[in-house]
Structure 1
Amino acid sequence: MASSNCFVLSIFMALSLLNINVGLAARHLLQMPPSLPGVTLPPLPSIPNLPQPTLPTLPTTQPSLPKPGALPPLPSRPTLPTLPSIPPLPSMPTMPTMPSIPPLPSMPTLPTMPSIPTTPTTIPFFSPPPSKTSP
């Protein structure tokens, strides 16, 4: 609880110190002389008129295209030399048979651990103190 009180107090102090600078800045602005009016810029010069270019006229007739029969014939495909044939792969040799593995002996039996009782069967009681008999 004390740490939250210290945190709130530190936030309050930080905000208080920030407000001091704001007050000093406001006082400084109030004590400054008034600013001078801005200087007006001279007017921009006018843009002179440029002559308008004329577009060339479009052709009225289309140029003639070459005729399909006038093209030269395509060259014939040259014959390529054939590759020599690859010899066949050798056959796989037969693998020798693996000898059989004898069976593993069975696991020995582990002795059992005696169980520890988790709850006492009887609760020990102290004997009651001797009673005082009054005559």
Structure 2
Amino acid sequence: MALKNSAVLLIGLLLSCVATSSAARILEETVPSKEEHQPEVPPLPKVELPPFPEVHLPPKPELPKVELPPVPEVHLPPKPKLPKVELPPVPEVHMPPKPELPKVELPSVPEVHLPPKPELPKVELPTFPEVHMPPKPEMPKVELPPKPEMPTVPVFHVPESEPKP
């Protein structure tokens, strides 16, 4: 039964692949190219706008110059003197003497006799032959170009407006 079901499934997959590939081929043959499909667009008519009328604004009214009244002088009363406060003396406190703690004798630590340490044998390392390296060549001195000067930022001066009469 399982063999029959898998055979039906494989035949169905094969038929669907054949159908999609033939449909894709038909679509490729029937789609026109982009150049043939472009409709012609008529040019837009030119529209001329009338020129903007000149606008004449009335001159700016001059604002009246406002003068502030002078600041009145303020006379504050003198600061009152505060009375000098004396604190009462701190009373002496007598503490009872500290009780002495009893002496505790610790038991003596027993002596431990360990065997003497064995001496390690001396190991002689092999000597390596001396290697003579050629002297290092001197590096050539490189002269750098002079450091360029930083460009200065131009300073803009705002002209002061002349007072109007």
TM range (shorter): 0.3 to 0.5
Structure with the higher helix share, 1 or 2: 1
